[in-house]
Amino acid sequence: MNFKERILTTLNHEEPDQIPVMGLIMDPSTVSQVTGKSATNIVNFLDKPVLGKVAKGLVNTNWFWNRMYYGNFALAMESSIQLGFDANWSIYALMKLYEDPASTLGTAMHDAYGRVWEMGTNDRGDLSVDYSRALCPTEAEWEAWVDAKAPLFDQLVKNATGFHKKLADKYSHRIMPIGYAAPGIFENSWQAIGFVNFTKLVYENPEFVKRVVAFQTDLYLRYLEGVMDSGVEVVLGGDDLGQKTGPLMRPALIDKFFGESYRRVAELVHSRGRKFIFHSCGKIYQFLDMFIDWGFDGIITMEPTADMDLARVREQVGHKLALVGNLDVSHLLVRGSHKEVDQAVRDAIRAAGPGGGYILSAAHSHPYVDATRLQWMVEAAHEHGRYPLQG
């Protein structure tokens, strides 16, 4: 089988020739380890009087942002190919630089959804970008944002479509690009408003929350259509519904406000003949049956440091969901021994591999994941993951 046949056979809960391995590579640190090339780090230019002004101007132009962003993700695809993965995810983001006195650098990125992202440089010299705060904490501010940003939403969908298509056209003969429509409806709904404000509004102004969710659902479905128009055959979506100890909100509330939106997502993907895999970090056992009810084909992450045990997940969902992930990125793939990595791969295959329906991968991307350990993971999968599986 080739990589594409291997992935699609697995997602149909049939046994391929061997367990597929999927890359979640996107961090510049991982890319530079594999390719020896560094992704563009604009932080290096921002504190320089002349270069900083030029950099800000360039980053805020659509053509330069797309060129820079695609170039960085193309390196991620090259890294995944070199390491021997069958697939790698691809994620598009549209951000612009703004003067921001509240930011450490005095400059921050704002995305199309109304979020502030703080930029920095990690101890390896690579760019780091992290969600910082909401831009629309009140109903009036959110409404004003939506009214003012209509052209930006159109640009986001257009850019995402072109980005995924360009990657698929260039790399689909060497690896399977998995289009990731991210971030998802839940995160898009609360992160522009702020979690505390949003959860209060769920009780104090549920009609406003419903309007927010309806808007984000319609925008997400447009975005998802664009990702699928690129030609990818498997689509990732998702929201972090959990934290280390359990759900971020009561599952019944998530179902009440977001369940129908998620059903619409699954129905759209299936109407296009694609598979839909849902990403969520955290301890999410309470959502697994909902994922099945909403119509998802699979889940990705199953964060081991949030007590997500692969065998327990498989026991709960059977073969109603394909499983992707679960290899730890806090220790195992950062500084684990060769023996530890090999044993973790064998344990994962034993827990979820029989009958198909399991794709081996790291639990997530992480800047401190070690490329050598990713290579060990792939090699162990090739050694222990051939069907018929051996004990």
For the segment 342-386, what is each residue's pLDDT rounded down to a tens digit? 999 999 999 999 999 999 999 999 989 999 999 999 999 999 999
Cα–Cα distance for residue pair 111/117, rounded to 1 Å: 8
Q: Say what the pLDDT of residue 369 is.
A: 95
The tens digit of pLDDT for each residue in 26-46 reads 988 899 899 998 766 777 777
A 10 A CB-CB count for 94 gives: 21
Residue linked to tokens 């995402």 = 160
pLDDT tens-digit map of 116-147 = 998 887 777 777 888 999 999 999 999 999 99
What is the phi/psi pair of residue 93, to 5°? -140, 145
- Give residue 336's Cα distance to chain centre: 24
Q: What are the pLDDT digits (tens) for 8-21? A: 999 999 999 999 99
Domains of the chain (ranges; CATH) run 3-384 (3.20.20.210)
- pTM passes above 0.85: yes
Amino acid (1-letter code) at residue 236 = L
> 3-state DSSP call for residue 56?
helix
Residue 385's identity, in one-letter code, is: G
The phi and psi torsions of 323 (rounded to 5 degrees) equal: -115, 135
Q: How far is CA 63 from CA 69, 74, 359, in A?
A: 10, 16, 36
Peptide bond into 101 cis (omega under 30): no
Rg of the chain taking only CA atoms, in angstroms: 20
Name, in order, each residue with C-beta under 8 angstroms of 341's C-beta and a sequence gap of 6 or more: 332, 333, 373, 376, 377, 380
